[in-house]
Structure 1
Amino acid sequence: MPVMIPRHIEPRVPVPPFEVQREIVRIMCHFTQMEARRRQYEYHRDKLLTFREFAA
């Protein structure tokens, strides 16, 4: 039997305080920067370690 929720009642979603939100954003930005550095490192590593065959 489905549960019916009246349309006039909006569900409440808890939101952390602003300072906690800022800390979450700071941490996520740090991981984003780390991921960008990892990709940059992989790109340059692959460029340096990829050798083309030269025709004789």
Structure 2
Amino acid sequence: MSSRYHEVYDGWKRDPEKFWADAANAIDWYTPYDKVFDAEAGVYGRWFTGATCNTCY
């Protein structure tokens, strides 16, 4: 695999919330999120709490 793949993968392992926050910056949010991940929101947690996006945009 390419070194870029390993760089991205290692970044995800080091800090998953930062990784997904950076990825979320590429999305045009209708309402921006308040929190990247809420681990207190049930068994599986909740990603991008407070956010709204239009997937048809």
- Using structure 1 for the length normalisation, give the TM-score: 0.27
- Using structure 2 for the length normalisation, give the TM-score: 0.26
Q: Which has the higher strand share?
A: 2
Larger Rg: 1
Q: Which has the higher helix share?
A: 1
The structure showing larger relative contact order (alpha-carbon pairs under 8 Å, at least 6 residues apart) is 2
